[in-house]
Chain A
Amino acid sequence: MQGLHMVAVHHAYGSTAVLNNISFTVPAGELVCLLGPSGCGKTTLLRIAAGMERLQAGSVIIDEEVVADATIHVPPEERRIGYMFQDYALFPHLSVLDNVTFGLFRRDRVTAKERAMEMLDQVGMARHAARFPHMLSGGQQQRVALARALAPEPRLFLLDEPFSGLDTGMRSRVRAETLAVLKRNNVATLMVTHDPQEAMFMADRIKVMGANGRILQTGAPADIYHKPVDEYVAHLFGDMNMFEARVEHGQLISSFGAIAADAAVEGTIVRVLIRPEGMTLSNTDGSNTDGGGPQGGGALVDILSAHLLGNSSLVRFRVRDGINGGAEFHVRVPGSFDLTEIGPIWARVDPDHIFLYPLA
């Protein structure tokens, strides 16, 4: 099968296991992202795939060739892998064109130059071919690094926090361009990041890694965002509100009213997590709702603050009474939120946006 396959990889530093029986596949043309906190082993996995770290147990297969197992260790330079790291590592004394041509030493000068120019054209840098790295912006250097890495037509492409050195505006532009180029070149790509938004934007499949050196959840970005397997994964993808609720007759009972919860165990107290966009504020209570919107009457709340964030506002509020009385939450509302014109406000929970977990 074309692509990267890591099978039952186990790795330890001394007596500390950093990778615990990890298996995954990156098919050709797809981008798989390893997402996790510092120290979870994601960069070690990348280094093992590259051959920069010697495999201790398991096997690494690239395009049906076993490049590492108990007896085999194909050195990095023979694995046909492209890399792009946070520091672009361009040669400062070489022009942009020579930087890209550098890795094409197996080709004759003419075809190497043609290929380099083709890649520079793909990343929109052909007109800068004669310049030197110090004459380029960070984003331009990143594009040259991408062209250089893809020029030898690698069968696997590795990205290690590749955009973290760029400022916010530049980062989103460069990563969109990078993704387009990677897709056009149909290369299997493994990317490491600790930035959930970056993972969601770039990846066909995300693998969330935990501190125990295991993969906690694998899925398409939408799967992981909407169905996090546990509280840790839920929190990883952004702010969460939390409250406790009692399960009675298949419903969650809380200050926010009764919410359908078929999956919860009757009679237990559960922890409810909900993202800020899963709550709504309104100036009417919900006693007359027809069931078409959020269930229950909602909780009467006091607004504590509102911050305009551009096209939305983040509003903090405190629940007045009931089981969750005194608890503070935040909700994202469209546009600005005028604190001066408000009367009583009720907060409601959208049952489609809640995640339930048993109390630890």
Chain B
Amino acid sequence: MAKITPSFEIEVETIDNDHRRLVDFTNQITAAIDDQQYAECARLVPDFIALSKRHFAREEALLDKFDYPGIDQHRQHHAGLDDKMETMLTLAGRVEDNRLARETLRREVFFFLMDDVINEDMDFKKFLVDARSKEK
């Protein structure tokens, strides 16, 4: 089960809240697979993707506001996740009757959450915390 421990907090409320909601989605998707609630799983994945996209937009706006020097790189990283999100949507459509799709989806959702969303955001944690404290 995924959860946000203090080590994974960015210390920016909006971003951490998004991460928590994405973690909740990940756990719900995993539980739906475990409980063989495949229709529920197929319903959750598009919502998970939609929230991820909104999160990326919010994050980019915030980084833009504080002139984060690595913003182009981070935008590129987000853009590069389109294929992975498409893959998860495709897998979600196949969970009903395909064991490999279920296993792959479970793995991809978790790696996406941890590596592509949360761990990547660690890159700008220090910058953002410093920038916000100067603002105060």
Give me the interface of A with B, judged by CB distance under 8 Å. Answer: 1, 5, 7-8, 21, 23-25, 27, 30, 59, 61, 64, 66, 69, 204-205, 218-220, 223, 227, 229
Contact = CB atoms under 8 A, between A and B. Distances in A.
Closest 9 CB pairs of A and B: A23-B119, A25-B114, A23-B122, A8-B122, A7-B7, A59-B7, A1-B2, A218-B115, A205-B111
Interface in B83-125: 83-84, 107-108, 110-111, 114-116, 118-120, 122-123, 125
Nearest to B3: A1
29 contacts: A1-B1, A1-B2, A1-B3, A1-B5, A5-B7, A5-B114, A7-B8, A7-B119, A8-B122, A8-B126, A23-B118, A23-B120, A23-B122, A23-B123, A24-B115, A25-B111, A25-B115, A25-B119, A27-B110, A27-B114, A59-B7, A64-B5, A66-B7, A205-B111, A205-B115, A218-B115, A218-B116, A223-B83, A223-B84
B71 to A, nearest CB: 16
Given A24-B115, A69-B7, A223-B84, 8 more contacts: A1-B114, A7-B122, A8-B126, A30-B107, A66-B7, A218-B116, A227-B83, A229-B80
A24 B84 contact: no
Contacts of A69: 7
A8 B3 contact: no
A61 B119 CA distance: 13
Interface in B1-60: 1-3, 5, 7-8
Contacts of B120: 23
Nearest to A30: B107
Contact of A204 (B3, B107, B125, B126): B107
A218 B108 CA distance: 12
Contacts of B8: 5, 7
A301 to B, nearest CB: 33
Contacts of A30: 107, 111
Contacts of A27: 107, 110-111, 114
Contacts of A223: 83-84
Q: B interface, how many residues as a size bin?
A: 20 to 34
A227 B79 CA distance: 13
Contacts of B108: 220
Contacts of B123: 21, 23
A299 B9 CA distance: 55
B36 to A, nearest CB: 19
Nearest to B126: A8
A223 to B, nearest CB: 7
B51 to A, nearest CB: 19
Contacts of B83: 223, 227
A1 B125 CA distance: 21
A205 B122 CA distance: 19
A352 to B, nearest CB: 14
Contacts of A8: 122, 125-126
Nearest to A1: B2
Contacts of B126: 8
A23 to B, nearest CB: 4
Contacts of B118: 23
A218 B114 CA distance: 12
Nearest to B119: A23
A23 B120 CA distance: 7
A356 to B, nearest CB: 14
A220 B120 CA distance: 16
Q: Which of A5, A21, A25, A220 has the most CB of B within 10 A?
A: A25
Given A7-B119, A223-B83, A61 B114 contact: no
Nearest to A3: B114
Contacts of A229: 80
A254 B125 CA distance: 45
Interface in B54-76: none
